[in-house]
Amino acid sequence: MDDKKETSLKKPVRKIVPRRYDNRKQSNKSPISINKAKDKINIDNNPVKIMFLGGLGEFGRNMFVAQYKDECLIFDMGLRFPEENMPGVDFIIPSIEYFANNKNLKILGVFISHAHLDHIGAVPYLMSKLNYPPIYTGLLTKEIILKRQSEFPNMKKLDIRVIDAEKNNHIEFKNFLISVFHVNHTVPDSVGFLIQTKQGNVMFTGDYKIDFNPVMDKPADLTRIVKLASMGVDLLISDSTGIEKEGHSISEQEIFQNLEVIFMRSKGRIILATFASLISRLQQAIMLAEKFNRKVIINGYSMKTNLAIANKLKYIKVSSKTIIDAKEINKYKPEELLILTTGAQGEDNAGLMRIINKENVNIRIQSGDTVVFSSSVIPGNEMAVQCLKDSLTKQGANIYHYKMLDIHASGHAQKEDMKLMLNLVRPKHVMPFHGFYYMQKLFNDLAQDVLGLRKEDCILASNGQVVELVKNKILLTSKFIPANYVMVDGLGVGDVGEIVLRDRQALSKDGMFIINIIIDRKSKDVKVLEIISRGFVFMKDSNMLIKETKEKVNKIILKTIKKTVNDNVNESYIRNILRDEIGLFLFQKTERRPMIIPIVLEI
């Protein structure tokens, strides 16, 4: 960030905390309150609106808006991966239809909590449509956003302003004051935010866990969280992902010790598969490789990219002699090698799957390899990961995973961490995000038990639902803004809607049936040129069905033509009749419903 921008972030802040807090003398590193006289003038009945465009009742697509009058802030801008019933879809991003419908809205800034795709993945697709507002985030997150943005050469340069939680940064606007605090997650530079407004204060934890012994990171800044919370928190928006897990989150130091046991036991190569963004885990593996005199091969584009950025910014430590190119693999004995790779979720094109399928030119699974899955299984990927384990075992590899040994810790707070956060912040209201509806409900139950909050103080909102903050009170309204899925398929953004998706689902389920027909306008002769089946029946084994279908087509068209007036053949009408009647005919014969595509040529 240039000197001019950095100076602008450090100037003395305006005092805009709600009137119930004292005007205490504090250092300019902490938010301070409006004096009571001025506060009485400024307070009005215009609510601060909190609206999630994604991230509620789901994992991913995280993005919410804080709006006061015609000014708003955006927090996170993520994607989510498609469900099984979304064939061809690469991923899903939030809808920004609300901004398109309200041209008067001014976006003051986009605040990004950390560098995971479910929080930054939509940036390349949405920023141009939002007229490139400034982005406020940590240094590592900035570099990862810029690296991904370089894959979109037609985009303008992003205005990214670095915020440093260690320096107690706060960003001032006319109607908002944003303070930053450091939290632990699986990637450095993860932060949460306190949003101070004239109507009350909102604290957003981001994705977090509490780790008193992190690796290459500092513990969450609980002191600062308490200091900010002492200003009063009217609404705590908190991560609810780990609510079903009892106890405290496993420390990264414990993970490190268990990985060390595997390094001591393994006589051959070690292949460690994890997420490309799990910087702390990659650092642990590299430290152990250097301790046990192993060279490290990085396999996977995203992992190479993230490690290069983290190394440049000194978020990890690695000797220049430790990392080698995959082409040098045969120069070393098996016990001298560690391979770090993506693909722990069984993704088709990820690094580990390419190794297993022998698509990687340099790396093959060998008997005696130790494969470490240092990640939990994402819901929905269970079968893919099991197939991965089976393939590795057949090729002679030994496997370790998180159910055998604590070699992975979630980046999300477990129940005892959540209790600690609730007690530190003591909010008047809570609102969980980042989890299914069931998890959000469990979090609200916990908040009621820990803080004695009433049920109505614990907000269970849906994506698009408007939550209002007025004079330190929270109201869950019945108003909604658009928060529908926007699907990305290749270069297409939003052009795959429900109709296209439904067609894809039909094609993937029962295939398609194409009927090519020629109609002679004068003689009224009908000729079925060709019938093509794809994904429905195998043509060579279905001669009788094809013959009966041709006869049925002829009868339908001749019957239809006889009803025409003035010799005008209505091709559209014929196509519709064929879709309906041939569809019914094929269902009666096969109990399947292929997509019927009639092609009618009139001569």
Q: Active-site positions?
A: 239, 412
DSSP string, 196-262: EETTEEEEE--S-B--SS-SSSPPP-HHHHHHHHTT--SEEEEE-TBTTS-SPPPPHHHHHHHHHHH
Q: Which residues pair with 515 in a beta bridge?
A: 531, 598
Instruction: Please give, one letter per residue, the 3-state secondary structure of 5-41.
Output: HHHHHCCCCCCCCCCCCCCCCCCCCCCCCCCHHHHHH
Decide if 519 contacts 569 (C-beta within 8 A).
yes
Beta carbons within 8 Å of 501's beta carbon, 6+ residues apart: 85, 86, 87, 89, 487
Query: Hey, how many other C-beta atoms are within 10 angstroms of the C-beta on 480?
Result: 13
Write the DSSP symbol of residue 451.
H
Dmax (CA) for the chain in angstroms is 97
DSSP secondary structure code for residue 535 in this structure? S
Nearest to 169 by CA among 160, 178, 157: 178
408 within 8 A of 391, measured Cβ to Cβ: no
Q: How many CA atoms lie within 13 A of 175 on its CB side?
A: 20
- How many other C-beta atoms can be found within 10 angstroms of the C-beta atom of residue 327? 10
Whether the CB-CB separation of 144 and 120 falls below 8 Å is answered with yes
Quick one: how far is CA 132 from the chain centroid? 21
Angle of CA points 580, 583, 585, to nearest 5°: 110
Q: Which helix (H) or strand (E) holds 548?
A: helix 543-562
State the Cα–Cα distance between residues 233 and 75, nearest whole angstrom: 18
Reduce the DSSP state of residue 171 to 3 states and report it.
Answer: strand
Buried b vs exposed e over 527-547: b needs ≥16 C-beta within 10 Å?
ebeebebeebbeeeebeebbe
Please name the amino acid found at residue 198. Answer: K
Which structure tokens are listed for 559? 């019957």
Q: What are the backbone dihedrals phi and psi of residue 362, each rounded to the nearest 5 degrees, phi first?
A: -100, -25
Nearest to 534 by CA among 509, 502, 552, 501: 509
Q: How far apart are CA 583 and CA 574, in angstroms?
A: 14
Dihedral angle, C-alpha 256, 261, 263, 265, nearest 10 °: -170
Give the 3-state secondary structure of 265-316. HCCCCEEEECCCCCHHHHHHHHHHHHHCCCEEEEECHHHHHHHHHHHHCCCC
Report the C-alpha gap between 91 and 404 in whole angstroms. 32
b/e sequence 203-242, b meaning 16+ C-beta within 10 Å: bbbbbbbbbeebbbbeebbbebbebbbebbbbbbbbbbbb
Characterize the bridge pairing of strands 270-273 and 512-519.
unpaired
Give CA–CA dist 276/187, Å, rounded: 10
